[in-house]
Amino acid sequence: MALQEHAASPASGPGEQLIGVLLRLRLSALYHLNALGDSAEQVIVAGEPLVADLARVLGTDHPDTLQSRNELGEAYRAAGRSAEAIPLHQQTLAARERVLGPDHPDTLTSRNNLAIAYVTEGRAAEAIPLHQRTLAARERVLGPDHPDTLGSRNNLAVAYLTEGRAAEAIPLHQQTLAAYERVLGPDHLATLTSRNNLAVAYGAAGRIAEAIPLLEQTLAAMERMLGPDHPATLQLRSNLDDAGRAADRAG
52 and 159 together in one domain = yes
Share of the chain above pLDDT 90, in %: 80
156 and 181 together in one domain = no
Q: Angle at the Cα of 236 (from 234 to 241), degrees rounded to 5?
A: 95
Determine if the pTM surpasses 0.75: yes
103 and 186 together in one domain = no
The CATH code of the domain that includes 59 is 1.25.40.10
The range of the structural domain enclosing residue 95 comes to 1-8+43-163
Q: If phi over 0 gives left and psi between -120 and 50 gives alpha, with beta otherwise, what is residue 100?
A: alpha
Q: What average pLDDT does the chain have?
A: 92
Is 48 among the domain residues?
yes
Q: Which pLDDT band, with edges at 50, 70 and 90, does 63 fall under?
A: very high
Is 236 among the domain residues?
yes
**pLDDT at residue 22, rounded to an integer:** 87
Q: Is 98 exposed, middle or buried (0-12, 13-18, 19+ CB in 10 A)?
A: exposed
| C-alpha closest to that of 72 among 58, 86, 60 | 86
Is 16 a residue whose pLDDT tops 80? no
Please write the tens of the pLDDT for every residue from 46-61. 999 999 999 999 999 9
Structural domains counted in the chain: 2
Is 221 among the domain residues?
yes
Is 15 among the domain residues?
no
